[in-house]
Amino acid sequence: MTCEHPEFRAQVGVGRLSQVEGGPITHYTAEIAIKCVACGEPFQFLGLPMGSNAYGAATSVDALELRAAIKPQNGPEPPPGLPGFSVKVTTPPGAMQ
C-alpha cells in the first residue's frame, strides 16, 4: 500500500555567516528538510540548482535540503562577496545509450 503522505514534519536550521572568521554576521541561511510523518519518506525540492548560494536558493545534491538565503525583514541586503558553489551534473562517457 502506498502512503498518501497525509502529514509532514519540517526540520529547519538557520545559519549565521560572516565574511571573515570572527567577523560580524552579514548573512543568514535557512536549511529546510521535509519528511512525511506517516512513512518517513523525505521530499525533494524541485526547480533549483544544486549547491550553495548566499544570495538566493539552492538544494543539496540529493535535493532533500533547501538552502535559502534569508535576511531580517528590516535589515540590510547582505553585502556582496560571499562565495557559493553550484554542482553541475555530467554524464560519464558511454552512459547514454
Point out which residues bind Zn ion (CB under 5 A): 3, 5, 36, 38-39
Asked whether 48 and 56 are in contact (CB, 8 A), the reply is: no
User: Is the Cβ of residue 14 or residue 39 nearer to Zn ion in the bound state?
Assistant: 39
User: Is the Cβ of residue 8 or residue 55 nearer to Zn ion in the bound state?
Assistant: 8
Residue 43 Cβ vs Zn ion, minimum distance, rounded to whole Å: 9
Strand order in the sheet with 66-70: 8-18, 25-36, 66-70, 57-59
User: Is the Cβ of residue 28 or residue 43 nearer to Zn ion in the bound state?
Assistant: 43
81: amino acid identity, one letter: G
